Amino acid sequence: MSVLNGKKILLGVSGGIAAYKTASLVRLFIKAGAHVQVIMTPASKDFVTPLTLSTLSKNPVHSNFFNEEDTDAVWNNHVELALWADLMLIAPATANTLSKMTTGNCDNLLIAAYLSAKCPVYFAPAMDLDMYKHPSTLSSFKALKQFGNILIPAESGELASGLSGEGRMAEPENIVAFLEADLSSKLPLKGKKILITAGPTYEAIDPVRFIGNHSSGKMGFDIANEAAKLGADVILVSGPTHLKVKNSSIEVIDVVSAQEMFDACHLHFKNVDVAIAAAAVADYRPKNVATQKIKKTVSEFSIELEKTKDILFSLGAIKEKQFLVGFALETDNEIENAKLKIQKKNLDLIVLNSLQDEGAGFKKETNKVTFIDGNFKIEPMELKSKESVAADILGKVVLHFSENS
Ligand code: CTP
């Protein structure tokens, strides 16, 4: 999944021949799952029509501070547009627009939005050979970079004037690749490896029967998706579930039993920075697994059970630098039991579910959790979607690394 998926992009188009390429650019953004709004300078409309860009972006195109032909003119709120955006891209950025960006000469909607933007601003210059090399252009680049804007360098090739050299706006595919690489490199969990367990485990009784539980795996999958979104390398060890990960970068290891989950976790634990145990692991398994299907020949039947290995406990016992997160599902004396689990399993954070809370638990879309950290700081959270709970858990992980970097 592209890092642009779900991102709100404000595209500012200024008046150069390269403006025609913004049609492809908008298409690529939409294909990557981004939301796009376009601001055009008056001059840019000679090179590409607002109708083209509004059709492709699926949004009205903004150009003037208000619509002059409309007697009920509505003010175009440039501040709102700028604050809406996760990133602003000015492409093509002409010499004129670059110069206005450096001086703050605010005579059009694009510059007004630029001056109001709090998000990262990228600019992709486009101009002719000598203009691109002119000291005034170079000094605009320098000033804009000092302001924190990010230059997407022009490419070399044939120019509209017939000259050949540097100055062509970067090709739309290359602009998208530039943005993806830049945004990925800034993700808060870039370079971190995270191991996550999810789902139930099935403990075989005979070839056709097992002991399982109602866990859907949703909480663990949501954590894995969120971690990947934040740039982490994710290994998801999952018991039987019908769920699919949203991000193909996630390495999924399918397991069935608690022992298989234990083995998979121990294979990877040494190389990870974080482990989050969201699986509902069976605590007991049949001591002997029948090799043939058990027939109903007797009126009473019992199965001898033995304890499975506690995966989280075993990881806590060998942990070095890893940030270790566990879940606790409790019905009574919740906080005290959760604190005991933190100590017993050597955890940095526990996510406590109380079955007394409505909306929490198995097969639900929502969860109501309380965080307790290694210092026993207690933080009750609101009832939220499991996706939001996953985001909160990863928020704690990000905080841990920012405090310990
Ligand atoms: N867990 C695990 N391996 C097990 C059992 C549990 O890794 N064999 C993990 C779960 O993924 C969860 C945490 O341990 O993160 C808490 O599990 P829970 O069943 O609530 O607690 P237990 O420690 O098993 O204690 P009890 O059942 O007595 O409450």
Q: Rounded to the nearest 5°, which phi and psi values hold at 320?
A: -115, -90
Tell me: do 214 and 179 sit in the same domain.
Answer: no
Q: Please say which residue of 185, 214, 240 terminates a domain.
A: 185
C-alpha 361 – ligand 1 centre gap (Å): 14
C-alpha 310 – ligand 1 centre gap (Å): 7
- Name the residue at shortest CA distance from atom 8 of ligand 1: 310
- Res 355 pLDDT > 80: no
pLDDT of residue 161: 84
pLDDT band (50, 70, 90) for residue 361: low
In a domain, 1, yes or no: no
- Name the residue at shortest CA distance from atom 28 of ligand 1: 283
Q: Which residue of 314, 332, 333, 341 sits with most ligand 1 atoms within 8 Å of its CB, as the best mutation to test the pocket?
A: 341
Domain CATH number, residue 167: 3.40.50.1950
Tell me: do 169 and 218 sit in the same domain.
Answer: no
Share of the chain above pLDDT 70, in %: 96
Across the chain, mean pLDDT equals 94
In a domain, 379, yes or no: yes
List all residues 6 or more positions away from 310 whose beta carbon is below 8 Å from its beta carbon: 281, 345
Quick one: tokens of 370?
């309380």
pLDDT of residue 235: 98
Q: Which of 163, 153, 168, 158 is nearest to 123 (CA)?
A: 153
Q: Is the CB of 311 under 6 A from ligand 1?
A: yes
Lowest average pLDDT, out of 12-21, 25-34, 154-163, 293-302, goes to 154-163
- Res 81 pLDDT > 80: yes
- Res 354 pLDDT > 90: no
Tell me: do 181 and 197 sit in the same domain.
Answer: no
Tell me: do 23 and 158 sit in the same domain.
Answer: yes
Q: Is the CB of 32 under 6 A from ligand 1?
A: no
Tell me: do 162 and 218 sit in the same domain.
Answer: no
Lowest average pLDDT, out of 59-68, 232-241, 245-254, goes to 59-68
- Average pLDDT (147-162) is 93
pLDDT of residue 360: 63
- Average pLDDT (238-246) is 97
Lowest average pLDDT, out of 68-77, 230-239, 279-288, goes to 68-77
Q: Is the CB of 308 under 6 A from ligand 1?
A: yes
Q: Judging by DSSP bridges, how do beta strands 121-125 and 35-40 pair with one another?
A: unpaired
Q: pLDDT tens, 161-184?
A: 888 888 999 999 999 999 999 999
Atom of ligand 1 nearest to the CA of 279: 11
Q: Which residue of 195, 283, 342 sits with most ligand 1 atoms within 8 Å of its CB, as the best mutation to test the pocket?
A: 283
- Average pLDDT (367-371) is 92
* Residue 88 lies in domain: 8-185
In a domain, 353, yes or no: yes
pLDDT of residue 76: 73
Tell me: do 167 and 235 sit in the same domain.
Answer: no
Tell me: do 159 and 216 sit in the same domain.
Answer: no
Q: Is the CB of 338 under 6 A from ligand 1?
A: no
In a domain, 81, yes or no: yes
Tell me: do 17 and 79 sit in the same domain.
Answer: yes
Tell me: do 249 and 397 sit in the same domain.
Answer: yes
Q: pLDDT tens, 61-76?
A: 999 887 666 566 667 7
Q: Is the CB of 9 under 6 A from ligand 1?
A: no
Atom of ligand 1 nearest to the CA of 329: 20
Which residue type does 15 have?
Answer: G
Q: Which of 264, 280, 267 is nearest to 361 (CA)?
A: 280
Q: Is the CB of 315 under 6 A from ligand 1?
A: no
pLDDT of residue 363: 64
Tell me: do 356 and 319 sit in the same domain.
Answer: yes
Q: pLDDT tens, 24-57?
A: 999 999 999 999 999 999 999 999 999 999 999 9
SS3 for 270-337 is: HHCCEEEECCECCCEEECCCCCCCCCCCCCCCCCCEEECCCHHHHHHHHCCCCEEEEEEEECCCHHHH
pLDDT band (50, 70, 90) for residue 21: very high
- Name the residue at shortest CA distance from atom 20 of ligand 1: 328
Total domain count, the chain: 2
Write b or e for each residue in 37-64: b if 16 or more Cβ atoms lie within 10 A of its Cβ, otherwise e: bbbbbebbbebbebeebbebbeeebbbb
pLDDT of residue 332: 87
In a domain, 47, yes or no: yes
C-alpha 164 – ligand 1 centre gap (Å): 67
Quick one: tokens of 214?
């109602």
pLDDT of residue 72: 64
C-alpha 281 – ligand 1 centre gap (Å): 7
In a domain, 3, yes or no: no
Distance separating the N- and C-terminal Cα atoms of the chain: 28
Domain CATH number, residue 298: 3.40.50.10300
Tell me: do 293 and 352 sit in the same domain.
Answer: yes
Strand order in the sheet with 87-93: 35-40, 8-13, 87-93, 121-125, 150-151
Which residue type does 234 have?
Answer: V
C-alpha 263 – ligand 1 centre gap (Å): 16
Q: Please say which residue of 185, 213, 230 terminates a domain.
A: 185
Q: Is the CB of 326 under 6 A from ligand 1?
A: yes
% helix, strand, coil for the chain, step of 5: 35, 25, 40
Q: Is the CB of 258 under 6 A from ligand 1?
A: yes
Active site residue 213: yes
Which member of 64, 67, 77, 213 is catalytic?
Answer: 213
In a domain, 2, yes or no: no
- Res 308 pLDDT > 70: yes
- Res 357 pLDDT > 80: no
pLDDT of residue 78: 82
Atom of ligand 1 nearest to the CA of 278: 11
Strand, coil or helix: 38: strand
Burial class (CB in 10 A: 0-12, 13-18, 19+), 221: buried
Q: Is the CB of 198 under 6 A from ligand 1?
A: no
Tell me: do 252 and 349 sit in the same domain.
Answer: yes
Name 339's bridge partners. Answer: none
Q: Please say which residue of 185, 213, 235 terminates a domain.
A: 185
Atom of ligand 1 nearest to the CA of 258: 8
Return the residue matching tokens 């663990």: 220
Q: What is the pTM of this model?
A: 0.86
Q: pLDDT tens, 94-119?
A: 999 999 999 999 999 999 999 999 99
